[in-house]
């Protein structure tokens, strides 16, 4: 098992200047974690890196400004695989190793839009416009091996999840009355790190097939663990 880490450090000669160091830490069969690669300051001429993703056991990618960089462990040299335009902003990326595709969350002077990008085939497809400056989307994530993707839209404190399971049909919509930190989808289960109404923050599980909804892990020591169904007091799933 490997962990890819990009962490800030600082120079002893200048305590106010930070830079990033990229390292790979691998778990050995005995359970110990050892650093197997250290690429040093691969970002030093590129600015701050965001959205670090593993594209294979021996390669990774990250976003920087409007560009996407990739690094193969054998070469140890980063290269640009996606170069954005001057009027477009790259807000986030997610990668499906099964599908070998990136899903890019982008914006321009009008609103936000999603782009599918396969660097191996040099293939690009516009996945449609999804939000605007007043209703931004975030947490765009490939799920279920690249068969679906999910994101949430912030409407002034009330979030709505969009689950795109069929590329030829509109996404399912699930209103969520509370703040959201992050989310992921596994099969029929949508897991959300956040809170609902006045409930404590934690990880919630929503089954889109049965409608069952419950608190999996709470931020408090002795939560009132309950399972219910999303209803008018919580949310209902619908299709746009």
List pLDDT tens digits, range 102-134: 999 998 888 899 999 999 999 999 988 887 767
Decide: pTM greater than 0.95. no
Q: Which residues fall within 8 angstroms of residue 173, CB to CB, at 6 or more apart?
A: 160, 161, 162, 237, 238, 239, 240
For Cα atoms 35, 193, 127, give the angle at the middle one, nearest 5 degrees.
85
Among residues 169, 240, 235, 168, the alpha carbon closest in space to that of 208 is found at: 235
Residue-level pLDDT at 234 = 47
Contact yes or no for 204/189 (Cβ under 8 A): no
For Cα atoms 232, 233, 234, give the angle at the middle one, nearest 5 degrees.
90
pLDDT(39) > 80: no
How much is the mean pLDDT over the chain?
Answer: 79
Between CA 166 and CA 223 the distance in angstroms is 36
Task: Name the band, by pLDDT with cuts 50, 70 and 90, for residue 157.
Answer: low
Between CA 53 and CA 185 the distance in angstroms is 17
pLDDT(179) > 50: yes
Task: Name the band, by pLDDT with cuts 50, 70 and 90, for residue 44.
Answer: low
Give the whole-number percent of the chain exceeding pLDDT 90.
Answer: 19
Between CA 217 and CA 202 the distance in angstroms is 5
What is the sign, positive or negative, of the torsion defined by CA atoms of 214, 216, 219, 224? positive
Between CA 47 and CA 53 the distance in angstroms is 17
Contact yes or no for 67/83 (Cβ under 8 A): yes
Residue-level pLDDT at 105 = 93
Between CA 209 and CA 174 the distance in angstroms is 13
Torsion of the alpha carbons at 73, 74, 79 and 82, rounded to the nearest 10: -70
């Amino acid at each position: 098992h490997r962990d890819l880490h990009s962490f800030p450090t600082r120079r002893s000669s200048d305590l106010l200047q930070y830079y990033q160091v990229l390292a790979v830490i691998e778990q050995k069969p005995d359970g110990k974690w050892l650093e197997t690669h250290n690429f040093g300051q691969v970002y030093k001429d590129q600015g701050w890196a965001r959205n670090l993703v593993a594209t294979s056991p021996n390669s990774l990618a990250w976003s920087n400004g409007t560009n996407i960089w990739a690094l193969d462990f054998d070469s140890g040299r980063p290269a640009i695989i996606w170069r954005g335009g001057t009027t477009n902003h790259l807000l986030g990326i997610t990668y499906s190793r099964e599908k070998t595709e990136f899903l890019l969350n982008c914006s321009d002077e009008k609103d936000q839009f999603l782009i599918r990008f396969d660097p191996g085939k040099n293939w690009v497809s516009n996945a449609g416009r999804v939000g605007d400056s007043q209703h931004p989307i975030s947490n765009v994530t490939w799920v279920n091996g690249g068969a679906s993707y999910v994101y949430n839209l912030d409407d002034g404190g009330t979030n709505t999840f969009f689950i795109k399971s069929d590329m030829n049909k509109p996404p399912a919509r699930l209103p969520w009355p509370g703040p959201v930190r992050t989310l992921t989808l596994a099969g029929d289960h949508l897991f959300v790190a956040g809170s609902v109404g006045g409930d404590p923050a934690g990880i919630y599980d929503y089954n889109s097939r049965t409608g069952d909804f419950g608190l999996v892990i709470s931020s408090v020591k002795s939560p009132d663990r309950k399972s219910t169904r999303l209803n008018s007091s919580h949310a209902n799933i619908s299709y746009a």
